[in-house]
Amino acid sequence: MTKYYLMIISAMLMWGSIGIFVRAVPLSSQELVLARCILGSIFLVTLFILKKEKVDREAFKRNLPLLILSGVAMGINWIFLFNAFALTSISMATLAYYLAPIFVMVGATVLLKERLTAVKVMAVLAAMIGMVLVNGTDMGGVNPAMGLASGVLAAVFYASVTLINKFVHGLKGLEITIVQLLAATPVALIATIFTHQGPVTLPGGKAFLALLVLGVIHTGVCLFLYFSAIQKLPGQTVALLSYLDPGSALFFAAIFLHEKMVFVQILGALLILGGAAFGELFKKKKV
């Protein structure tokens, strides 16, 4: 079980660094999502071929509708998230988006029949308070109300991806990730076609390297680690550990982008990381 904890924690910490690389790529949000889907799919399919993996065809057929549904939800989730960033402040969009772990926790209780413990509730509340302290509550932007709604919808689809994957059985994480990325690609393509303006240009130099990292590492590798882990871990645990992503993002931004961290933000980050640690370590101590 420790292996799966390390996998999801690694994915969350790597996702926390995504902002560093996004800043270096001069593409629109929709183009960036499409590029991530394509590059991540190519990397994972290549890895699958090289490993000469054998697929359980019956399990594949049985799970295919769920995998496609989850992949489409993942693509829609990314589109709503980037739409939220465009319409309201980054802080408000992020706060709305990280309602997702709460939705996962509630969904795990209703759909997966997991027992909702007081420790997990307190840990998630601590992490959510930390999120408020880290990001603030600025409702700026060109359309704050629509931006907030987009952020909440992104959270709903993010939670649905996690919960749907809990019903996938008999397949490995690599197979799951490939199908879901392939299913998300048409969604990203449609969004790009409807929003793209001007000629199509590919970034070069350091921007291209940053795009490769986003596609291969942040999409292919991280999604593989994430989907492999959530099949083995309780939904409430997945929800709680999801807060490591925004918590670590603050430290990465301070170290690599030289963004200043005020005391309130440091306190918020400690609440996020402390809440995640307490929610898991306290449970392990009690077992």
Distance set, CA 18 to CA 5, 21, 36, 127 (Å): 21, 6, 12, 20
Distance between CA 162 and CA 226 in Å, rounded? 9
Please, which residues have CB within 8 angstroms of residue 109's CB and are 6 or more apart in sequence? 115, 116, 236
pLDDT digits (tens, 9 = 90+) for 138-168: 566 778 888 888 889 999 999 999 999 989 9
**Most confidently modeled range among 92-106, 107-121, 160-174:** 160-174
Confidence of residue 131 (pLDDT cuts 50, 70, 90): confident
Would you say residue 45 has pLDDT above 50?
yes
This prediction has a pTM of 0.81
Confidence of residue 100 (pLDDT cuts 50, 70, 90): confident
Closest to 178 (Cα-Cα) out of 14, 67, 28: 67
Question: Where is pLDDT greater, at 242 or 276?
Answer: 242
pLDDT digits (tens, 9 = 90+) for 15-31: 888 878 887 888 887 88
Structure confidence at residue 30 (pLDDT): 83
Structure confidence at residue 38 (pLDDT): 94
C-alpha atoms less than 13 angstroms from C-alpha of 79 in its C-beta half-sphere: 20
Would you say residue 283 has pLDDT above 50?
yes
Would you say residue 284 has pLDDT above 70?
no
Per residue, what are the HEC states of 200-255? CCCCCHHHHHHHHHHHHHHHHHHHHHHHHHHCCCCHHHHHHHCCHHHHHHHHHHHH
Confidence of residue 286 (pLDDT cuts 50, 70, 90): very low
Structure confidence at residue 11 (pLDDT): 94
Return the amino acid letter for 125: L
Structure confidence at residue 135 (pLDDT): 64
Which parts of the chain fold into alpha helices (H)? 2-15, 18-22, 29-51, 57-87, 90-97, 100-111, 118-135, 144-165, 173-195, 205-213, 222-230, 235-241, 244-256, 263-286
- Tell me the average pLDDT across 23-47: 89
Distance between CA 250 and CA 265 in Å, rounded? 8
Average pLDDT over the chain, rounded to an integer: 83
- Tell me the percentage of the chain whose pLDDT exceeds 90: 32
Give the phi and the psi of residue 49 in degrees, each rounded to 5.
-65, -45
Please, which residues have CB within 8 angstroms of residue 156's CB and are 6 or more apart in sequence? 100, 103
- What tokens were used for 80? 């709503």
Helix (H) or strand (E) holding 136: none
Would you say residue 43 has pLDDT above 70?
yes
Question: Where is pLDDT greater, at 57 or 281?
Answer: 57
C-alpha atoms less than 13 angstroms from C-alpha of 84 in its C-beta half-sphere: 24
Return the amino acid letter for 122: M
Least confident of 89-93, 121-125, 152-156, 193-197: 89-93
Confidence of residue 181 (pLDDT cuts 50, 70, 90): very high
